[in-house]
Amino acid sequence: MSDWVAIGLRFAAYADLMLLAGLAMGGGLGRHAPGIGGRVIGWLAILGVVITIAQLAATSLAMTGYDLAILDREMLTFMAFETPMGISHIVRAAALGLLAAFQLAGRASRPVAAALALVALGSLAWTGHAGASEAALGWAHRSSDIVHLVAGALWIAALAMFARLLLLDFATPGGATTAIAALARFSGIGGIIVAAIVVSGAINLLAIVGIEGLSTTFGTSYGQLLVLKLILFGVMLGLAGFNRWRLVPTLETALGGDRQAIAQHRLRLAILVETAAAVLILAVVAVLGTLSPVG
């Protein structure tokens, strides 16, 4: 049961922080991004604080062997302020708390919100396998992990924005033009995001298992889940390409015609499937962080 709690909290943290950071950065859509209310960012930040506190408490309890008698104030203070894991949680909670306060008070500009959200997201690199790497390898691993997280956050937020545009905003005046422009904008930076994910993912894998461990890793539970993650990523990549080269041009051509509804439905379905694949990847990542890559 304790393992599933840890996995559930990891999934919640990744989902919340990646969506938060991605939305704060506009999903990479620039001026074509649909407006995101400050309260949405604020409540995502508050949820992040709650998840962070729960993670720190659960991790501290696990460190005691689930002995509540040992988990006193001194133990909690040590875990929070004298371990890299604890410090990362404190930094994350502080960044999210500031972001929530600024956003709900209406005093946060987009650059400030994005910076605080990125600090919170980047703190995840000090947990899991990246957090266990040491010395120069550790810094390289964590830097690569941050790039991986940011690129994934942009993609996830863009999918959320596309879903909104296609499900809610498309029928409003100018909604179709806005949606097409946003999809075209993401097509332009999508290659950069994919390249960042692939390169940083490869660096992360080598940092975890080493070159000599590649041949044996895929025979472990860790390696099999990693293969599942790669398959899901391939599905996302294939759908993104199909959207860019087939569905979006078809919709653009069909605007105002008899086939607009069909073209819109197909694109909406593709975006929803791509989003489902992204959610499954986050679930796989949550489990991977609890497994040993060597067996």
Q: pLDDT tens-digit profile of 65-114?
A: 766 667 777 878 888 888 888 899 999 999 999 999 999 888 778 889 99
Provide the pLDDT confidence category of residue 230 given band limits of 50, 70 and 90: very high
Residue 151 pLDDT exceeds 90: yes
Asked if residue 273 belongs to a domain, the reply is: yes
Q: Please provide the DSSP assignment of 130-148 as one string.
A: HHH--HHHHHHHHHHHHHH
Asked, for residue 26, whether it belongs to a domain, the answer is yes
Q: How many CA atoms lie within 13 A of 98 on its CB side?
A: 16
What pLDDT is attached to residue 108? Answer: 75
- Residue 281 covered by a domain: yes
Cα–Cα nearest to 120, from 66, 180, 55: 55
Judge whether 90 lies within some domain: yes
H helix count then E strand count, the chain: 11, 0
User: Residue 46 — very low, low, confident or very high, per pLDDT cuts 50/70/90?
Assistant: very high
pLDDT at residue 260 in the model: 84
| pTM listed for this prediction | 0.91
* Measured distance CA(204)–CA(214) in Å, rounded: 12
Residues belonging to the chain: 295
Helix (H, G, I), strand (E, B) or coil at 258: coil
Phi and psi based region of residue 28 (left: phi greater than 0; alpha: psi -120 to 50; beta: remaining): left
In a domain, 295, yes or no: no
56/201 Cα distance (integer angstroms): 26
Do residues 238 and 244 touch, judged by C-beta distance below 8 A?
no
Tell me: pLDDT of 130 over 70.
no
Q: Is the pLDDT of residue 1 over 60?
A: no
d(CA 51, CA 83): 19
149-153 contacts, C-beta under 8 A, 24 or more apart: 149/18, 149/21, 149/121, 149/122, 149/124, 149/125, 150/21, 150/118, 150/121, 150/122, 150/196, 151/193, 151/196, 151/197, 151/200, 152/18, 152/197, 153/17, 153/18, 153/19, 153/21, 153/22, 153/25, 153/121
Place of tokens 């607009």: 260
Domain contains 25: yes
pLDDT at 266: 92
- Classify residue 18: in a domain, yes or no: yes
Count of domains for the chain: 1
Alpha helical stretches, state H, 25-109: 38-63, 73-81, 84-104
- Tens digits of residue pLDDT in 191-225: 999 999 999 999 999 888 888 788 888 888 999 99
Find tokens 């000599």 and name the residue: 212
> Where residue 131 falls among pLDDT bands split at 50, 70, 90?
low
Q: Is residue 47 part of a domain?
A: yes
State the CB neighbour count (10 A cutoff) for residue 108. Answer: 24
Structure tokens at 136: 């120069």
Domain that holds residue 132: 2-288
Q: Give the whole-angstrom CA distance, residue 233 versus residue 32.
A: 25
Distances (CA, A) of 171 to 13, 249, 261: 34, 18, 11
